[in-house]
Structure 1
Amino acid sequence: MSDARFDDGREAPLNLGAEDAEDLTVLSALAQDAVFGVGDMSWERGARRFSILLNRFRWEDAGAERHGPERVRAILAIENVVSVASLGLDRSDKDLVLSLLSVSFEAAEEAPGGAVLLTLAGDGAIRITVEAPQARLRDVTRPYGAVSGRTPQHD
């Protein structure tokens, strides 16, 4: 058994940006079911950036039937951050593994501001208040076989 390669799927690593709610919907679909640890989140106040190192499921992988389900390490970075708040998760539990269900944007009364909402499995959420929506999802490693060997399922 060998490590998965980008060539196996005939696809390039993702490097996508989002600048509005519609763009965030695309990032949400590609980041759905990503898993990450509490320690994989970072808020750089001075740079006004919130980022997460994700283990992203490769929903876009056209070769999954041939080589099985894959994941890839990816960075989800949100810019123009004013504040970050979380609900339903214990940030002091460094062994806690979180699963990302969706990324959405709630516009404020005064455009272009609002909040990027990261909805997590288990009723958790991260609310990132931004001056304007700007995000990037970028793969940073080669794909690897999903440890479970299965595609995530939803009821």
Structure 2
Amino acid sequence: MAETAKPLRLLAQDAEDLAVLSAALQDAVAKIGDIRWDAQGRTLTVACNRFRWEALGQRAKAGERVRSALQFGDVTGVQARNLRRDAKGAVVELLSIGFEAAEEAPAGVVTLTFAGGGDMRVLVDCLDVALADVSDPWSTPRTPGHAD
């Protein structure tokens, strides 16, 4: 019987924690329609298919993806550049997540950088970020590649 993968569950409350989430989410893919900002609830949620870098070579020769949810709390605003919000089915690939503290800590700006030149700035009162795998992983024949 195959070993069941443990779902990833991570929280980020500072820049170091966020760097760990960024590494876990490198090369995640999402549809524009799966990025939702709830202004009243002050949350931004991104449903994505995360490449399981941590499992590469452990369980199988092929890579794996898993459905994951990333949620930012205490969001005061969201700005997107080079992302067509009206193209709900368009797929974006997440490259990295960074944080720049504001003059008045713990507020700041989280930047999600996507392949192709798009990015999203998430204005937060503080870092309150959660990442959770929400499905079983599945095999994928494609391992993301990066130019050196």
Q: TM-score, normalised by structure 2?
A: 0.94
Superposed, 1:1-155 pairs within 5 Å as 8=3, 11-61=5-55, 63-64=57-58, 66-146=60-140, 149-155=141-147
- In the aligned structure 1, how far is the partner of 2:26 from the partner of 2:90? 18
Following superposition, the deviation at residue 11 of structure 1 comes to 3.7
Following superposition, the deviation at residue 150 of structure 1 comes to 2.1
- In the aligned structure 2, how far is the partner of 1:27 from the partner of 1:138? 10
- In the aligned structure 2, how far is the partner of 1:106 from the partner of 1:56? 24
| CA spacing shift, 1:36–1:62, aligned 2, 3 Å | closer
User: Gapped runs of 5+ residues in structure 1?
Assistant: none
User: Gapped runs of 5+ residues in structure 2?
Assistant: none
Residues 19-63 of structure 1: CA deviation (Å, up to 9, x unaligned): 011100000000000000011011111211000001000011155
The total of aligned residue pairs comes to 147
- RMSD of aligned C-alpha atoms? 1.6
The letter for the 2-side match of 1:110 is: E
Structure 1 stretches of 4+ moved >6 Å: none
Q: TM-score, normalised by structure 1?
A: 0.90
